[in-house]
Structure 1
């Protein structure tokens, strides 16, 4: 069974932002010889996440506001006591981002059927930046026949 890997890069904006990466994944599948199998999509950062949901502007804003309420950046977090940890000089104050990431997914596995992602009508693969702006990478692995 062939396995093909790819990294995609995403330039993110400040704060919580959501990127639809469905097309990038499908383009990778289109370039591969695999027609039936699965696509594993994996977020390679501790302050990012993935989800499959509807890519509708007003819903995405609702999601962003909801996540900010779950772990407000202004709350007190022990992880943000940078003077008590050995950290790089440019270490951000980002405990809220780690907490939000742990409530979401690190990876998604999507069936590939006849060379296409087997997503439902309104489903998209969404990448969540929780601590931007940054240059991020997402690992995609396609396996099958």
Structure 2
């Protein structure tokens, strides 16, 4: 069974951002001889995530608000109590680079989402539904991000 892979690179913007990877994924599939199989899309970072959903600007804003409420930057409110994220106590963590951000909130957002998606390939096309797109969620930008794309099949 043939397998092909590539690394997709995305320069992200500050804050929570969504990037539609579907055109890049389809372009890579088009460059292979694989017509029937599957595409594995894998985020290589702990503060990014992947999801299949609608790429619509107003929904993107709703997602940003939802994630910010789920894990607010700075500290977490639990009822009447406030909790400072332990991960953000950078001075207590070994081997931390000087430019390390306080980003516990981004890690928490990422674990509620997913780091990978598998999409069927049928007749050389991603078998996505009408409104579905493969979205990369930047949760701690700006950064240069990489996503592994592996397609297999025949």
TM-score, length-normalised on structure 1?
Answer: 0.99
Aligned equivalents of 2:12, 2:127: Cα separation in 1 = 27
Secondary structure of 1:13's aligned partner: coil
Structure 2 gaps of 5+ residues are: 76-83
Give the alignment partner of residue 105 of structure 1, picking from 102, 114, 127.
Answer: 114
Aligned equivalents of 2:137, 2:103: Cα separation in 1 = 15
Aligned positions, number = 145
Question: Is 2:35 aligned against 1:35?
Answer: yes
- Displacement of 1:90 in angstroms is 1.0
Matches within 5 A, 1:1-145: 1-75=1-75, 76-86=84-94, 87-145=96-154
TM-score, length-normalised on structure 2?
Answer: 0.93
Q: Which has the larger radius of gyration?
A: 2
Aligned equivalents of 2:55, 2:101: Cα separation in 1 = 29
Secondary structure of 1:79's aligned partner: helix
Secondary structure of 1:110's aligned partner: strand
Structure 1 gaps of 5+ residues are: none
Runs of 4+ in 1 over 6 A off after TM superposition: none
